[in-house]
Structure 1
Amino acid sequence: MENINKLENREVIDTNAKLEAIHQDIKRLMEKSNQEYLDLMLVNLKKDILSSITAYVTDDIENGLEKSMVDPCQMRETCKTRFTQFLWENIELIKQDKVPKEIIDNKKAELDEIRKTAPFDKCDICFSEVDSLFNKQVNLISSLQIYENNEEDKTEISSIPEEIMVKNVLDPISNKQRLQILKFMAFETRTFTAISELTGLRGGNLLFHIQKLLENGLILQRHERGDYMITEKGYNLLIMLSNFKKYLE
């Protein structure tokens, strides 16, 4: 009887093990199927997005050139055909996963060569619109490529220390007057009086903002009661902000 019970227990254990193995196989199959379905959805979504972007860019070219090119002009249709061809070629770049900087530089050089053949002063009006449309395309290409996998960038972004960054960088320049003070001393030292005249702040109010910049190493005072000057950290921060300015336009 005891042997029968052991046999039955072993069979139960074996059956449970087999069921667990089947369960794991089904789970892996479902996960794989779900992932394949998700990948397919993402591929189709990307196609839809690119299709919509392409349609938008095409319309933008047509409408922009039609409305902004000089009219009347004996060269209008000839130039419009050339500009359209140049801008349409860039639509294919938008569809690519990665566009090297060299290709963009070559397209800029190509547009410069076209500009050299312009016969009239009023051609600047037409080229201004082409420049605008081309820059839109370049910005769009750059934005789309942000989402390409770049392990180095991902590592750098992941390593940003939030608390320290907010405390030592973002908070000190989050105030308009502190940023104004920092810009004011970007290229020369400034006295307390000069800073006061610039900002309209007096006494303790101005001292509070100056102290904030001092504490975070963005400016320094050359000696007690002396002039204030920007530090390397403060200057580099201004350069970073000036580079970011193009995204606000």
Structure 2
Amino acid sequence: MSEQKLIAEEITLLHEEIAGLRSELSRFRGEVAGSQTNSLFNEFRNQCAVEMINGSLENAYELIGNEEKECPMQTKCIPHLVHFFEDLSDYTRNGQLTDDNIEKMRSNFDKVKELAPFDHCSNCIEKAEGYFDQQIGMLQTIGVYKNESEMQLQVRDLHEEQVSNLIGDPLSSAVRVRILKSLYKEGRSFTELSKLTELRGGNLLFHLEKLQSKGMIRQRGERGEYQISVQGYEALNAMAELVGKLGVNYSKI
């Protein structure tokens, strides 16, 4: 074999290796970026919740203080009662807002009731406890806190066919999952998705239409690029969270 031919083959192999490395790097960046996106979103949501709790502390002072304005213990009791909201803020900031910690705070309300020196103390304590429940409700609404018992009820009430249609069918194909992953950060054209999946024409269109019919992706115009929908985005995030909780070892796959 001539020297020129050897050099040409080596160059070809080198090109293939570079292309493989680029593909691997792109995949790695996508996975890292997706993980960072979820992490940053959760951190941002927790921080917003903390600001909302801290911003409402003045309302807590006012609401509790209006109960017994003439009480000689008012200046000592109110800061103690507001301390519950400070604990709530700390748990939220540190991602430790669990059923156990909330139950612990509720039991501390009961301890305060037992130590209260006056009959009218229950008015301030109940006002603080009611305001505390409002804050918990707000945290549930924005998704910072999920009550485990309510989650169990939601699982019990799941409609099997609805779940199967929503998740099972669109995500039952590795190709469709790959398409969703590729659209996680940015839109892609049919040609780009064809190269990515190594599918052409009707074969690729079949999977794209499946995802579109289930609301996982959308297309801009008739021949525009494909984009992930909010539903598809949340479905992927939920799958990533599920895989993490199940402790899947990728090295054994």
Q: Which has the larger radius of gyration?
A: 1
Normalising by structure 2, report the TM-score. Answer: 0.49
Normalising by structure 1, report the TM-score. Answer: 0.49
